[in-house]
Structure 1
Amino acid sequence: MRVPWPEIHPAVREAVEEFLGGPVAEAVTQTGGFSPAAAVRVRTAGGRRAFVKAVGPEPNPDSVRIYRSEAEIAAALPVSVPAPRLLTSFDLDGWVTLVFEDIDGRHPALPWRRDELDLVLGAVERMSAALTPAPISAPTIARRYADAFRGWRDLLTEDTTGLDPWALRHLAALADLESGWPEAATGDTLVHADLRADNLLLTGDRVYVVDWPWACVGVAWFDRVAMLPSVGMQGGPQPHELLPDPDPAVTAVVAAIAGFMVRHGRLPDPPGLPTVRAFQRAQGVVALEWLKQRTGWV
């Protein structure tokens, strides 16, 4: 669903070229992600490189709001964070544009390779330590995901046709378990809150974390926990192999993540995002199996 460089609003392209100091001679669209937006590595005629993200109000107006949030967070991140530096951002004719330094990296190989996974998990652990306490102002995780992380509770009053039999049998208990996630996830760490392979870039032995619109303040281990269902569904080890910790707080957060993925995977596709529900459903399968393993409920 990526928008190619020539289809970006002409005034936006002109503004980017003015900022970069010359016309764009090469523009390579980057794959991955879900937003119906432009994600382009550009090179000017003078040789300057940058990574440009731009989105308009169609077909998904929520994407504009998300990009504004990303611009605010990216501008505030300290240089110690392993993220590309935001060079500029602007709103123009309904479009939101962010221009980042261009990182000569690649996404992790899929299916996941264990050496790259270990590199990423180590980098995530170091990042969490460096971002404790949170160096910038951001919403709490309870506020950020208050409406999203109530999937099991919402399913109590919705059509449950086709729901996993185990989940249906334990639905009331899952809703109760899920309700404890805000307290379980409370902390003072700035977390990315949306880690997965397409939000990571590898360059040599360094890991860059991109796309920060959902950043919030929560418990230090949240990013690792929230990432593991995507690792499992993309050919890596299953979550229980990577995080056997029986901490009840982790279980409450896993319940919230599983409920989010399962319920949202049952919803219609959002405008302009035809692949996101399938991705959520696939993660939901892994997250639910992890939750079954953690609770031990039969």
Structure 2
Amino acid sequence: MPTTRITYDDLPGRVRSAIEEVTGPVASAVSATEGFNSAVAARLSTPTGERFCKALPADHRQVWTQRREAAIAPHLKDVAPEVRAHLEVDGWDVLLFEALDGYHADYRPGSPDLPAVATLLETIAALPRPPVDLRDMRQRLRDYVEDSADLRHFAGSTLVHTDLNNANVIVGDGRAWIVDWGWASCGAAWLDPAYWVLWLVAAGHDPAAAEQQASAVPAWHVAPPEAITTFACAQANLWNEIAAAKTEDPWTARLAGAAKQWAALRAV
């Protein structure tokens, strides 16, 4: 099964025909340059408008993330692009979205995009939990805390995205959207701002300055200091594990280094 990106034109003919029954003839297809969770990730120009296509083989080990995204998408008004179709054809699972016009958020210090991202996270935290089966954050982080009793800090019923990679955040017209909801979970409302801290540090912020940025999101202030410390240490443990398995990957090393920096600040 594909583990690297292929083009839209590489999809089987029956799959492309099913897509074009929804969109009309595809005049052009431009593959995304960021992220490789989907075998196909391409912007399609069609008579019905610009669409974004994601596709995975139906037997791919991560196809559950795409199906979860399809289930959640109708409940993400004002924070994510509208889903137009979810197709299962000829051994492929396909999602079609409205395409967003914008660019990947810039998380670097001084970026004008930071307020829009904070507003986005505030909006997400206020969304009703969708009627979808979601993983619990206590389950997801249970292997990365020193004391299982500390998992109580992550409990909650808020919908959380959990992947604040700037490539998932699209900025345009003074506002931000977030895509790739496959790892969405339920947990404490402050978790998405906390995940943002990690990515801010990876983008060049001092950990204390990154926390100051996160404090623009009201949900951040709900977290007791010990909860944030527990989370920062859990992220350091998680990314250290990932980095140990991907020793030649500079992207992973950057995230592991950021997590270590943040955990060190919280341990003082």
Pairwise TM-score range, normalised by the shorter structure:
0.7 to 0.9
Partner of 1:7: 10
Under a length normalisation based on structure 1, what TM-score does the superposition of the two structures give? 0.77
The yes-or-no answer on 1:283 pairing with 2:255 is yes
Give the structure-2-normalised TM-score: 0.85
Tell me the C-alpha RMSD between the 2 structures: 2.4
Partner of 1:265: 243
Matched-pair identity in %? 30
Task: Report the Cα distance in structure 2 between the residues aligned to 1:110 and 1:139, rounded to whole angstroms.
Answer: 28
Larger Rg: 1
Question: Which residue does the alignment assign to 2:153?
Answer: 184
| Deviation per residue, 1:173-196 (Å, 9 max, x gap) | xx525x344211111211111122
- Matched residue of 1:214: which SS? coil
Amino acid at match of 1:267: A
Unaligned residue ranges in structure 2 (runs of 5+)? 213-220
| Alignment partner of 2:207 out of 224, 239, 246 | 239
1:29 partner amino acid = S
Q: Is the CA contact 1:4–1:29 (under 8 Å) kept in the aligned structure 2?
A: yes
Aligned to 1:136: 131
CA contact (8 A) 2:106 2:114 kept: no
C-alpha displacement at 1:124, in angstroms?
0.9
Matched position secondary structure for 2:228: helix
SS for the counterpart of 1:176 is: coil
181 and 265 in structure 1: CA distance in 2 versus 1, 3 angstrom threshold: farther
The code of the aligned residue for 2:9 comes to: P
Match of 1:63 in 2: 62
- Trace 1:75-114 onto structure 2 (pairs within 5 A): 75=74, 77-79=75-77, 81-109=78-106, 111=108, 113-114=110-111
Q: Size of the alignment, in residue pairs? A: 255
In 2, Cα distance between the equivalents of 1:82 and 1:187?
20
C-alpha distance in 2 between matches for 1:11 and 1:134: 36
CA contact (8 A) 1:141 1:182 kept: no
Distance in 2 between the 1:37 and 1:110 partners? 27
Pair 1:47–1:89, CA change in 2 (3 A): closer
Q: Structure 2 CA distance, aligned partners of 1:34 and 1:112?
A: 26
Q: Tell me if structure 1 keeps the 8 A contact 2:107–2:199.
A: no
Equivalent residue for 1:292, pick from 247, 264, 268:
264
Report SS of the residue matched to 1:3.
coil
d(CA) in 1 for partners of 2:250, 2:180: 20
Give the alignment of 1:77-226 within 5 angstroms: 77-79=75-77, 81-109=78-106, 111=108, 113-128=110-125, 130-131=126-127, 133-142=128-137, 145-146=140-141, 149-151=142-144, 175-177=145-147, 179-226=148-195
Q: CA deviation at 1:112?
A: 5.8
Distance in 2 between residues matched to 1:49 and 1:8, nearest whole Å: 19
